[in-house]
Chains A and B, each alone.
Chain A
């Protein structure tokens, strides 16, 4: 993989969330989340729909204003109002459930837009870097296609490449396989596993329990806007301590998802 710029020293703290609260109107979605992610760590967020996983990721990326609490990324308090969110977002890649590729641009343009407009990378170099990344994920023959022409799995891989083109130090993945047909899930999960193996710091909201067990260094179980339990996968999946975690996992097993 291309060398991330100024990667923080091993063992440093990449993400720190302290007592984060977030409401949409009267609906309190996050009720005091605190967590810490070390550099090169892969954390999976699991929990039922509506438990606050996506909102947490969007808050960390400053896409949602928060009500109270603190978020620090790579040692910088990003909830400080003086911080420029555009600068913060350059360091974090986020990939969405619904891909959100730009439909009016080719795959190549999707990937090069942000490097060219935000980092001011010259067009030729941005294109070279984009081709290298697309090649790495088996998408080189798609560079001139428009997103509507691609399968869901291909679109999602392009979305991941688009985020990687900004050479982020942290990747946030928001249920990136939930909108895919079952047979397309594997190709996307492989990409994420490769990123994890390459040392990318990742915070992943997912319903893929098998993937979470194999890839994550830690699992956080969320319910009603709180982290109920946090443990390495071996421990959380085999010996959950909290009754609510047990109940959730039992439902997953019953649905043959684990």
Chain B
């Protein structure tokens, strides 16, 4: 890196300064370029930024115009984008018979957070069992394979119904007396762990066997080698697909609403049935976006930081 320009973004592969191209949505300090604010406008970047800004305005302008000229534009706007209705559904009013979508999203967040932790653990366990070679584990391996096949094949909503309506019907102590959200989370965990275990498996396979040889030759036990050598590399390789599944999970918490749990989508549904306006769903959509987009950006930064650290030397 050129010591005279410590802030100049540098391509980690070539060591050359990065020419920041003003991409459509690359703001100053963009995660994509690794740049820092003002550097976006250095060199030939200025012209590129102007061009991309103009083209963005033109494209958006055309889309908005088409929308506004549609015969039903006004009806659509009133039904989906009414500010009054959006605000009312966000705040909620139990006396009028509808719940706050803004408060209900908190349940989605909790279901997501608890579900994610459990999924990461269960999926890893399943992946490790499926990757094991010991003949003694053969029956468990078959079981794990069957589990993955089954839960990847059955629609999530059926799993939610089965657990949410089936378990209470069993009349067992404890198992049958949980809140509906618990059954919902259990169904999400069962279904998603099957997917995520396959992601883990791909990650474990992506670590070369020679890494295991190196670790074992140093006297590390199988478990220690897995913990310190294989897993960290595997997880780094699968962060993008893992994130993909978790964004999907954040949205699918809305399916738990089918059990009658008042999460954001259910609350929005109740509002629309009460007031006959769909703007509540727009509120729910915006809230889900607010949840998922930062997660995506955070992961981009994680990947970027890791890549730069490995390729461009130590950053202490």
Contact = CB atoms under 8 A, between A and B. Distances in A.
Contacts of A63: 213, 216-217
Contact of A118 (B211, B213, B214, B219): B219
Contacts of A104: 232-233, 236, 310
B220 A114 contact: yes
Nearest to B211: A100
B224 A117 contact: yes
B182 interface: no
Interface in B216-243: 216-221, 224, 228-229, 232-233, 236
Interface in A51-87: 58, 61, 63, 85-87
A80 to B, nearest CB: 18
B232 A146 contact: no
Nearest to A162: B218
A179 to B, nearest CB: 12
Interface residues of B, number: 24
Interface string A107-145: 000000110011000000000000000000000000011
Contacts of B314: 106, 144-146, 149
Interface in B286-316: 309-314, 316
Contacts of A93: 217-218
Contacts of A144: 314, 316
Contacts of A106: 314
B311 A89 contact: no
A146 B313 contact: yes
Contacts of A145: 313-314
A101 B301 CA distance: 25
A256 to B, nearest CB: 31
B219 A146 contact: no
A98 B310 CA distance: 18
A166 interface: yes
Interface string B168-205: 00000000000000000000000000000000000000
Contacts of B84: none
Contacts of A90: 219
Given A100-B210, A104-B236, A89 B228 contact: no
A94 interface: yes
Given A102-B229, A103-B233, A113-B228, A166 B218 contact: yes
Nearest to B235: A104
A118 B220 contact: yes
Contact of A102 (B214, B217, B224, B316): B214
A144 B214 CA distance: 20
A100 B219 contact: no
Given A146-B310, A146-B313, A102 B220 contact: no
10 contacts: A61-B217, A86-B216, A86-B219, A96-B214, A102-B211, A113-B218, A113-B220, A118-B224, A146-B310, A163-B218
Nearest first, the 4 closest Cβ-Cβ pairs linking A and B are A100-B214, A114-B218, A144-B314, A90-B219
